[in-house]
């Protein structure tokens, strides 16, 4: 068995949202190291250019395309520009997420609710549909949705965020069932507490950390590189018989 080809993404094009930092950037670097041509996306073009240059300096093929995933026209432009650059999309990673509130669910405004659902659920739905004809044309089309352990069991202070991530898990399973005949695999990853800027409100809170450490089998905060490794499995031929699954990478928190 040749393991170098099992996990290879050579001749594949991967599109990753929310990829200028944290988990998204680690997935981008992992995919690029596996041979993929990678398009990273986030809202700020200047930051994307800096991060793309960082990866290109390592010999990787990476381009940055700015996109606010909460805006339909920008999602359409993102797909259009990716196709103009590389002519195909083989792997889609919906990683971009929003959580503008932390606190009791009854204090969440309608505006915050709409923002969370638009970015965390509606955007992946729209982007998957936009990418469908290109994924269908691929020899190994794959979608990876980055959910959260909050999508499995609601996290304190993250009520509507947890609801949105539960919806993303359900969306993943719906697409996996419907797209199997098109040879497109759709899976989700539910990270636990990962040390990124996005989750700083959690890992910088001593009370929350104390509670988390009591519940973890592996008593430490996870790294974005560990999520990148899980994503590589789901993007590659190594997971060719895996679809509709939810991989938890949470140090055993959900055991």
CA-to-CA dists, residue 212 to 115, 148, 202, 221, angstroms: 27, 15, 10, 9
Res 30: pLDDT = 98
Residue 167 lies in a domain: yes
DSSP 3-state assignment of 108? Answer: coil
DSSP 3-state assignment of 190? Answer: strand
Place of tokens 């719906």: 174
Distance CA 106, CA 99 (A): 15
Residue 13 lies in a domain: yes
pLDDT beyond 80 at 164 = yes
Domain that holds residue 198: 3-249
Residue 255 lies in a domain: no
Instruction: Point out which residues pair with 94 in neighbouring strands.
Output: 145
Distance CA 7, CA 24 (A): 19
* Domains: count for the chain: 1
pTM over 0.75: yes
What is the mean predicted confidence (pLDDT) over 53-82? 98
Instruction: Point out which residues pair with 249 in neighbouring strands.
Output: 191
More confident residue, 203 or 119: 119
Place of tokens 């001749």: 11
Res 212: pLDDT = 75
Domain containing residue 166: CATH number = 3.40.50.720
How does pLDDT run across 106-118, given as a tens digit for each residue? 999 999 999 999 9
In the set 60, 86, 161, 175, the catalytic residue is 161
Q: Quote the percentage of the chain above a pLDDT of 70.
A: 96
Beta carbons of 31 and 25 less than 8 angstroms apart: no
Residue 100 lies in a domain: yes
Residue 42 lies in a domain: yes
Interacting residues of 162 by C-beta distance below 8 A, sequence separation 6+: 148, 150, 151, 153, 154, 155
pLDDT beyond 80 at 207 = no
Please say if 241 is a catalytic residue. no
């Amino acid at each position: 068995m040749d393991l170098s080809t099992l996990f290879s993404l050579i001749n594949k094009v991967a599109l990753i949202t929310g990829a200028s930092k944290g988990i998204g950037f680690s997935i981008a670097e992992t995919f690029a190291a596996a041979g993929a041509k990678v398009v990273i996306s986030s809202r700020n073009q200047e930051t994307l250019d800096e991060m793309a240059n960082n990866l290109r300096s390592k010999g990787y093929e990476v381009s940055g395309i700015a996109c606010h995933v909460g805006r339909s026209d920008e999602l359409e432009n993102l797909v259009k520009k990716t196709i103009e650059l590389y002519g195909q999309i083989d792997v889609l990673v919906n990683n971009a997420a929003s959580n503008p509130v932390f606190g009791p669910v009854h204090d969440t405004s309608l505006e915050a609710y709409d923002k969370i659902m638009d970015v965390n659920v509606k955007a992946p739905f729209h982007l998957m549909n936009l990418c469908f004809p290109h994924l269908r044309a691929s020899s190994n089309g794959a979608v990876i949705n980055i959910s959260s352990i909050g999508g499995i069991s609601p996290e304190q202070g993250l009520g509507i965020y947890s609801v949105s991530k539960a919806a993303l898990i359900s969306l993943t399973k719906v697409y996996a069932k419907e797209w199997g005949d098109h040879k497109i695999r759709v899976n989700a990853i539910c990270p636990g507490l990962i040390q990124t800027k996005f989750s700083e409100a959690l890992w910088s809170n001593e009370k929350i950390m104390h509670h988390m450490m009591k519940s973890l089998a592996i008593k430490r905060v996870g790294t974005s590189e560990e999520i990148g490794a899980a994503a590589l499995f789901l993007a590659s031929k190594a997971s060719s018989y895996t679809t509709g699954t939810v991989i938890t990478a949470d140090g055993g928190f959900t055991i």
